[in-house]
Amino acid sequence: MIKAGIIGSTGYAGGELARLLLQRDDVEIKWYGSKSYVDQKYASIYQNMFEIVSDSCMDDNIEALAEKVDVIFTATPQGFLASALNDRILSNAKVIDLSADFRIQDVNIYEEWYQIQHKSPQYIKEAVYGLPEINREKIKNARLIANPGCYPTCSELSIYPLVKEGLIDPDTIIIDAKSGTSGAGRGAKLDNLYCEVNENIKAYGVGVHRHTPEIEEQLSYGAGKPVTISFTPHLVPMNRGILITAYASLTSKVSYEEVKSVYDKYYGKEFFVRVLEKDVTPQTKWVEGSNFVDVNFKIDPRTNRIVMMGAMDNLVKGAAGQAVQNMNLLFGLEENKGLKLIPMFP
């Protein structure tokens, strides 16, 4: 039995983690950590958990938690883990961080984009970027996992193979991303009120969104050189789902079959990445509630560009599901254990 603790269990990603872990019989949640709801019944915060969880919320004392569990998930604001992490914690428990604190190797870039001082730069190098489809082997032996961001997960899985294989010019990559509103968190902000989001779509953070350097770093590893991208996220009136539509110039004339074979090479054996059939465009609804990423592409001979598309549930493969996938790897379990969820439709 794996004993797990969640710091930040009352946010949307934390709640999804609880949902995924509670459906397993080999994991036990020992700690529902929270900043705002200490001592309140967890099931009163998430009424869907009524008669399922009887625990009350604990605080966010990660040191105390580390002595009680095998794995800690931190679904916390940026800076929390970097401020709290130490060797004792890491020697007691595996840490899977859903925040951005350890995703970016260059601390200066982190501090510039996140406008925050990094309090534990000494752990950055050790942290493993938890995208199993690319970093599987490194993840297995890590102590500290930097669970990827939602937009980066979908973007990287859609684009990486073509960058790595040299089919596209990395200097031309433009990512237009669309996200459901759960990505904005459960904070009571005017901008996220029902009446402000419903029947509306807008871009936000244009040119300055903090997931940009994370995507750039990962694509750089594929390109073998620094990559600079355009990244524009949009807020869409739906609860869950991320769709990315990415554009790049092809480095040479390629056929549908050639590109398809590249995707198949990378993902043919991947359980969670589905390369759709020709001309079927990814839809967020087709992956809702599951850990799948659906990808596809379209070559446009008129412009010599390729359009790469990916759809994913931002709370599952974009957060909690991927964290569980990483946990499975860390503990030597089957990677898709507890994650063979079929998307819910409609």
Interface of this chain with a copy of itself, residues 47 to 66, rule: CB under 8 A: 47-52
Binds a copy of itself by CB under 8 A, chosen from 152, 282, 318, 338: 282
Rounded to 5 degrees, φ, ψ at 114 are -95, -5
- Measured from the CB atom, the residue of 247 and 331 that comes closer to a copy of itself is 247
| DSSP-based three-state secondary structure for 12 | helix
> What are the residues whose beta carbons fall under 8 Å from the beta carbon of 31, sequence distance 6 or more?
4, 5, 6, 7, 58, 65, 68, 69
Span interacting with a copy of itself, options 80-88, 145-153, 156-164, 306-314, rule CB under 8 A: 306-314
Residues 183 to 242: which contact a copy of itself by CB under 8 A?
A: 186, 188-190, 192-204, 206-207, 228-230, 232, 234, 236-241
With CA atoms as reference, report the closest residue to 308 among 209, 132, 150, 172. 172
287 sits near a copy of itself (criterion: CB under 8 A):
yes
Which 86-145 residues touch a copy of itself, going by CB under 8 A? none
Q: Report d(CA 315, CA 13) in Å as an integer.
A: 6
Q: Which amino acid is at 47?
A: Q
Query: Given the complex with a copy of itself, which of 64 and 206 has the nearer CB atom?
Result: 206
- By CB under 8 A, what part of segment 237-266 binds a copy of itself? 237-241, 243, 245, 247
Query: Which residue in this structure is represented by tokens 């190797």?
Result: 105
Burial class (CB in 10 A: 0-12, 13-18, 19+), 270: middle
3-state secondary structure at position 299: strand
Closer residue to a copy of itself (CB): 64 or 174: 174
| 309-328 residues near a copy of itself, rule: CB under 8 A | 309, 311
- Out of 147, 218, 284, 291, name the contact with a copy of itself by CB under 8 A: 284
Site for a copy of itself in 157-186 (CB under 8 A): 174, 176, 178, 180-182, 186
Active site residue 150: yes
**Residue 295 · residue 156 · CB < 8 Å:** no
CB of 278 to a copy of itself, least distance (A): 12
CA-wise closest residue to 312 among 243, 234, 233: 243
Query: Toward a copy of itself, which CB reaches closer, 21 or 128?
Result: 21
Enumerate the active-site residues. Answer: 150
